[in-house]
A and B are shown apart, each in its own frame.
Chain A
Amino acid sequence: MVISLLAVALMLHLYLFSKMGRAFRIAGKEHVWDVIVNRNQFFFSDLRFFPLLAGTLTGLFQFIPEIIQNRLKLMLHLPLTEKRIITCTLAYGSGVTILLFLFQFAALLTGLQIHFANEIIISTVYTVLPWYLAGITAYFLCTAICIEPSWKHRLVLLLISIGLLKIFFISGFPAAYQKIIAYLPLITLIGISTVIHSVIRFKTGMQD
């Protein structure tokens, strides 16, 4: 699954930079700079929901088999501390997600560095960072929903997750999150806390 996501990330990048190259050839670099700077066009909008999808899929693929086959219950009763088991499992899943995002983000920055001035690169970073944070948050929220033992609470968690993730996608205007970018990881922390809450409920066998 991770390899599939990596392949999709690569293909998406190839597509985005081919599209940009085409714009450079047809309209010229000066025109492309002009529409980015003065008409607030954003060239990487197609990237918008990829991190969200990648985070959600990683969470689902990691935890759904564990839940369906009741392996999580067994895992939490291994001769290791519950904290350690959960930390290792989440560290693996989130680590893979973050690595995938870092790889894609680094490739994006490298491409931008060649063609654009720092001001445009900074604006792009402010625009795409919330999307990557949404992906990481989606991973934790998905995990929390999967681990949560009661369907009623799963529904509540799902609604809360939609609300929290929506915050990352309120505006598509370039660099709209500039003023609150430093505070957005707090939403990811809320995502992590929901996982801890779900694990506690799972461990104590809460049914409601």
Chain B
Amino acid sequence: MLLAWFLPWIYKLITADNQSYPFTYFSCINKSFCYLDMRGEEIMRMDAKGRVYTEAEFDSILPMFYYRQLIKDDRLPDSINNVAISPRQISTHSFFFRYRPADMNTPGIKLYPLFESMGKRVDLKMPGDVFRFNNAIEFINPENNKVLAEKSMQFNKPFIKRDFAFPPRLVAGNPSIRKAYDEGWFIIDQHYRVFHMKMVNGMPFVKDTRIDSSLQTKYIATTEYPSKLFYGFLFDNHNQLYVISTENYKLIPVPTPAFSMQTDEMLIMGNMFYWNIEVTSDKGQTTCVVDVNTFKKSDSISFPAAFTGPAVQKWIFPFTLSFTSPTHKYVMPRIEVFGFGYLISGIMFAAVYYILYRKKIRSFNAFLYLTWIALTGIFGFISLITINPLKQLS
């Protein structure tokens, strides 16, 4: 088993190459994907039609991405597509949202800070306590490690009033004071009802969002972006992405390329006109573009992965064992089986073993060893060479 862990690790160490893709962004000027490809010796700036651009031209066709460069060069237009634009508007509507499978598969400590959402100061302040959920919400003061009974009771009341089914399945928010404003936490109860909780002037604000519980919401990412157009992103049980609108928590489905929350990464690069939704899987990278007014997909572009799957491993290793994964922060054994292709190398290893020890291979046990090597391939071969049981038989 150790060999099944160690040998593939060595193989990967020797052969692994960086899997990179061009930077892709949809141009609101020429209405096509443009990409910056740094994989070759030269940096290529092109659009999907194959037209090559200089650096300055590339800045001009992607004003939503390079607007600061355009401001510096005094080349930012006053309007795009008959819509008046300003640097402030572009900045307010631009955002980058990244989802990685490890975001969901990470051990975490279930204690959360609840900030004051209507603070009088511009900067957010640490609240001086944290909360936890068991069969009720409970606030704890870190200074003395004691439960704040009064505050806990005060915040518990609205949850009981709204029939919240404790303990929650998910508590989603940004536990950081480095953000423009605070929208508190989205909490999914045992019946998949989604609640919104925040603290307003020291008082609890708990609202049942009425988001359809049949979606069986799997993951919520609160965003707190400057535009304040939406609370965050929601993924349902079928990996469908939605935007939680600030208009009464209305869910807007967002088209994406084929996506699995367990294995694929997603990057959303949003601007005033379009959202570029990029999904990276082990098969490659696909970016689709969504119009922000209609939330309809208008175009997509794909780049296949340069190398896919265990091309050589399947001929050498019967299986591989690993304890870590880019999609998990948890350490756990993961066995990957590649089929029976390895049997060819297994028979070859058995033949080598026979040639090396042919004078000693007389007994029934010795033939069992050959069968063992044929079935376990390189792992059995190395272990038998090391232990050398034939010496004991002779």
A126 at the interface (CB under 8 A from B): yes
B50 at the interface (CB under 8 A from A): no
The distance in angstroms between the C-alpha atoms of A125 and B371, with both chains bound, is: 45
Please give, as numbers and ranges, the residues of chain B lying within 8 Å of A123 by CB-CB distance: 107, 109
Please give, as numbers and ranges, the residues of chain A lying within 8 Å of B296 by CB-CB distance: none
Cβ–Cβ contact A114 & B145, under 8 A: yes
Cβ–Cβ contact A174 & B107, under 8 A: yes
Cβ–Cβ contact B109 & A119, under 8 A: yes
The distance in angstroms between the C-alpha atoms of A175 and B329, with both chains bound, is: 9
> Which residue of A38, A119, A176 contacts B331 across the interface (Cβ within 8 Å)?
A176
Cβ–Cβ contact B109 & A178, under 8 A: no
Cβ–Cβ contact A178 & B140, under 8 A: no
| Given A120-B111, A126-B107: A170 touches B324 (CB 8 Å cut-off) | yes
Per the 8 Å Cβ criterion, residues 374-390 of B in contact with A are 386-388
Chain B contributes a number of interface residues (CB within 8 A of A) equal to 32
Please give, as numbers and ranges, the residues of chain A lying within 8 Å of B2 by CB-CB distance: 160, 163-164
| Given A29-B143, A119-B109, A164-B2: A171 touches B331 (CB 8 Å cut-off) | yes
Cβ–Cβ contact B324 & A171, under 8 A: yes
A34 at the interface (CB under 8 A from B): yes
Cβ–Cβ contact A208 & B391, under 8 A: yes
The distance in angstroms between the C-alpha atoms of A180 and B330, with both chains bound, is: 9
A167 at the interface (CB under 8 A from B): yes
The distance in angstroms between the C-alpha atoms of A164 and B6, with both chains bound, is: 11
Cβ–Cβ contact A117 & B331, under 8 A: no
B181 at the interface (CB under 8 A from A): no
Cβ–Cβ contact A34 & B388, under 8 A: no
| Given A31-B126, A117-B132, A163-B5: A170 touches B323 (CB 8 Å cut-off) | yes
Please give, as numbers and ranges, the residues of chain A lying within 8 Å of B109 by CB-CB distance: 36-37, 119-120, 123, 174-175
B176 at the interface (CB under 8 A from A): yes
Digit string of B107-145 for contact with A (CB within 8 Å is 1, else 0)? 101111100000000000010101010000000101101
Cβ–Cβ contact A180 & B176, under 8 A: no
The 10 closest A-B pairs by CB, nearest first: A175-B107, A163-B2, A33-B142, A29-B142, A38-B175, A37-B109, A30-B142, A176-B331, A119-B109, A171-B331
Give me the interface of B with A, judged by CB distance under 8 Å. 2, 5-6, 106-107, 109-113, 126, 128, 130, 132, 140, 142-143, 145, 175-176, 323-324, 329-333, 386-388, 391-392
What 16 new A-B contacts, CB under 8 Å, besides A37-B109, A38-B176? A30-B142, A33-B111, A34-B126, A37-B175, A115-B145, A117-B111, A160-B2, A163-B5, A167-B323, A170-B331, A171-B324, A173-B329, A175-B107, A180-B330, A180-B332, A180-B333
